[in-house]
Amino acid sequence: MTNKTTKLILLGENIKHARKAKKLSQNALADLLDISREHLAKIETAKRAISLGLLFDLCEKLEISEKDIFDFDK
């Protein structure tokens, strides 16, 4: 795996963990972000990269800092 792929996987895992910590389903978070559940699922599984704008919205909705979402050492 490339370094980029590894980071996308870790980012997706962090997003999924933060979503579950807020007790949100993929459907619920996708609705808050105005995207499809499928789009969110692809982000969480590193099959699709997330745009910066969507990442900022996601962090706001999950009440998590951008710094924390990129903490790959957890």
The structural domains of the chain, with segments of one domain joined by +, span: 3-69
Nearest to 19 by CA among 51, 47, 58: 58
CB-CB contact of 2 with 41 (8 Å): no
pTM of the model: 0.93
User: What's the CATH number of domain 3-69, 3.90.380.10, 3.40.1390.10, 1.10.260.40, 1.10.10.10?
Assistant: 1.10.260.40
- Angle between helix 52-62 and helix 3-21 axes, rounded to 10 deg: 30
Residue listed under structure tokens 């619920």: 28
pLDDT mean by block of 10 residues, the chain; 74 residues: 88 98 98 98 97 98 96 85
The residues, any chain, with a CB within 8 Å of residue 40's CB and separated by 6 or more, are 26, 29, 30, 33
